[in-house]
Structures are given as structure tokens and as C-alpha cells.
């Protein structure tokens, strides 16, 4: 599959599937190369539009918004809320069954993980951990949908690009990680007060002469937490999506590759189920650990 004007090659196929549906403002004077080969210059004041290709998306700079990542992540978040609300209203005393039993097991699992990992007192942590785990799991789960299904359907409606796995977009994963980082800073200041400053300046060398060294090391370690949290999820899911796209590209290589591609796709999908759950679990556990560290007042 290729968008209009793109040559259907393996490299073009891969690039197309890795391109987000981007909306933003093209700067004045930017040259837009249209499908018919003509070139149009963006008028004075810029132009708000959907990018056609990576060059236009890059030119949009900070104003660019990945519409597909935003829509799918928000939509999956709404599904999560509605599903758990529905189950909560159906829950009653007695032996649960069906989806009620499944979601109760998830809630109990997350609750036990929080009790074992979080050593402070905060009623926000358990609901936050549950939200993080289920939301990330649902976003990762989209990776099991055939890579051509939604892009093909939406292309017929005139939508040039469509990435349906939000966790393969670093803007989504880093946005969540930065949210956790802000909570870390908030509770570190709230719980430790001036002790947070002492923690940054007097660890690991407890002497005033080493304050610059301590501050540098502690700040670097502090900033590394959100980056490791967000980029770990993005890297694993992006690599998994790339493998699915490469396997899908094999189907266009001829009849000899069809059986091998089919077997590879099934094998990788089965293995990827473990990766999907594991990455959601790791993101949740690190969230709990980081917030627990923010509540440790020595």
C-alpha cells in the first residue's frame, strides 16, 4: 500500500507505515510538491494543513500534532474508563464470572503489586498504577491488528497516513513519562521539603565541597528516569511494529515467501503478546517505584 503519489516499493511501504498523520503549520515560503508534480509555495503567514510526507511534518516543527496517536490514545483511554465503569456497576457479592472476574483479577494484581512495591501512604498510587497498566496494555494491544487494515480503510476515505499503535510514538510515551516525572517532583517536595534539596546536594558525598559534583550526578540521575521510562516503552513497541511491517512486506515478494511470511507473522504475534503485557507491567512497576522513592523521607 502507498499513499497517492508514492511509488509502491518496499522502502516506500515501510516509510508510509511509519509516518504519522500530522497536522500543523507550514512556514511561509515552504515548497509543497503536489502529487501532479507541481510545486506550490506556502503564502505569507504560513498554512495550517495535514502534512503529506516526512519533509512537511519536519517543517511544521513544534506546531505539529500527530492526530492518529492522539485520537487512538484518547479513544482507548475512554474505552478503558467505560469498560471499568460498566464492570464496577455490575459487580456484586458472590462469585464473579466472565469479564467481571477478569477485571477483578487485574485490579487485585495491581493492588498487590502496589502493596509490595510502594512504601509510602498515598491513595493516588494504586488507581494511577491501574490506569497506567491498562492504558499502556490497550495501546500496545493495537500492535496485533494487521498493519494494513486501518491504513487501507482510511486511505479510501482520503486519509493519507495512519499509525494505530500510540505507544510506537515517542510523543505519547514521553508525554506519559513526563506526567509521572511531574508527580515525582511534586511528592518529593511535598514529603521531603528541604530534605529534597539536601538529597540532591549531599548525596553521595556528604560534604559541602562536593555539592557541585553531587548536584550534577543527582540531577542527571533524576532526569534519566522519565527518559528511560518513556523511551524503553517506545523502543520495544517500535521495534515490534517494524518487524510486523517487514513480515507484511514479504507477502509482496511472491508465492515462494507466502508460507514463510505467514508462519513468521503468527510466531511473532504469539511472542509479541508476551512483550505487550511485559512492557505494560514494566511501565507500571517503574511508575510505582519512582513514586515510592519520592515518598522516602530519610
For 162-174, the pLDDT digits (tens) are 999 999 999 999 9
Half-sphere exposure for 208 (CA within 13 Å, toward CB): 0
pLDDT single digits (tens) 47-94: 899 988 888 888 898 889 999 999 999 999 999 999 999 888 877 766
pLDDT at residue 94, rounded to an integer: 62
% of the chain residues with pLDDT over 90: 47
What's the average model confidence in pLDDT over 157-166?
90
Check whether 5 has a pLDDT greater than 70. Answer: no
Across the chain, mean pLDDT equals 87
pTM score: 0.89
Q: What angle do CA 49, 53, 57 make, to 5 degrees?
A: 55
Residue among 140, 167, 188, 236 flagged as catalytic: 236
For the chain, the residue count is: 298
pLDDT single digits (tens) 257-271: 778 778 888 888 899
Answer whether the bond into residue 64 is a cis peptide, omega within 30°: no
Q: What's the start-to-end Cα distance of the chain, in Å?
A: 58
Q: Are the CB atoms for 52 and 4 separated by under 8 Å?
A: no
Least reliable range by pLDDT among 2-16, 43-57, 65-79, 227-241: 2-16
Strands 31-33 and 22-26: unpaired
* Listed residue (66, 46, 45) closest to 54, CA to CA: 66
Task: Please identify which residue in the block is written with the cell numbers 522513592.
Answer: 293
Check whether 4 has a pLDDT greater than 50. Answer: no
Q: Are the CB atoms for 103 and 89 separated by under 8 Å?
A: no
| Residue 119 vs residue 258, higher pLDDT | 119
Q: Is 236 an annotated catalytic residue? A: yes
What's the average model confidence in pLDDT over 91-111?
81
Q: Are the CB atoms for 270 and 198 separated by under 8 Å?
A: no
pLDDT at residue 254, rounded to an integer: 66
Residue among 122, 203, 232, 252 flagged as catalytic: 232
Amino acid at each position: 500500500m502507498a499513499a497517492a503519489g508514492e511509488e509502491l516499493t518496499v522502502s516506500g511501504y515501510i516509510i508510509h507505515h511509519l509516518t504519522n498523520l500530522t497536522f500543523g503549520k507550514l512556514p511561509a515560503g515552504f515548497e509543497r510538491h503536489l502529487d501532479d508534480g507541481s510545486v506550490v509555495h506556502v503564502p505569507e503567514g504560513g498554512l495550517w494543513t495535514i502534512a503529506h510526507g516526512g519533509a512537511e511534518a519536519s517543517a511544521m516543527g513544534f506546531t505539529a500534532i500527530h492526530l492518529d496517536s492522539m485520537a487512538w490514545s484518547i479513544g482507548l483511554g475512554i474505552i478503558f474508563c467505560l469498560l471499568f465503569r460498566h464492570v464496577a456497576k455490575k459487580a456484586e457479592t458472590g462469585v464473579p464470572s466472565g469479564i467481571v472476574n477478569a477485571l477483578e483479577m487485574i485490579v487485585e494484581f495491581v493492588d498487590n503489586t502496589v502493596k509490595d512495591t510502594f512504601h509510602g501512604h498515598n491513595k493516588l498510587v494504586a488507581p494511577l498504577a491501574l490506569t497506567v497498566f491498562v492504558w499502556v496494555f490497550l495501546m500496545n494491544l493495537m500492535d496485533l491488528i494487521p498493519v494494513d487494515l486501518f491504513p487501507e480503510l482510511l486511505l479510501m476515505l482520503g486519509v493519507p497516513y495512519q499509525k494505530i499503535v500510540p505507544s510506537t510514538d515517542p510523543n505519547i510515551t514521553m508525554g506519559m513519562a513526563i506526567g509521572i516525572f511531574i508527580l515525582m517532583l511534586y511528592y518529593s517536595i511535598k514529603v521531603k521539603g528541604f530534605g529534597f534539596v539536601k538529597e540532591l546536594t549531599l548525596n553521595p558525598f556528604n560534604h559541602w565541597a562536593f555539592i557541585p559534583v553531587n548536584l550534577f550526578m543527582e540531577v542527571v540521575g533524576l532526569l534519566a528516569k522519565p527518559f528511560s521510562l518513556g523511551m524503553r516503552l517506545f523502543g520495544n513497541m517500535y521495534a515490534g511494529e517494524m518487524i510486523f511491517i517487514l513480515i507484511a512486506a514479504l507477502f509482496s515478494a511472491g508465492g515462494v515467501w507466502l508460507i514463510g511470511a505467514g508462519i513468521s507473522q503468527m510466531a511473532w504475534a504469539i511472542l509479541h503478546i508476551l512483550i505487550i503485557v511485559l512492557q505494560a507491567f514494566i511501565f507500571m512497576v517503574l511508575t510505582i517505584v519512582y513514586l515510592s522513592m519520592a515518598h522516602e523521607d530519610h
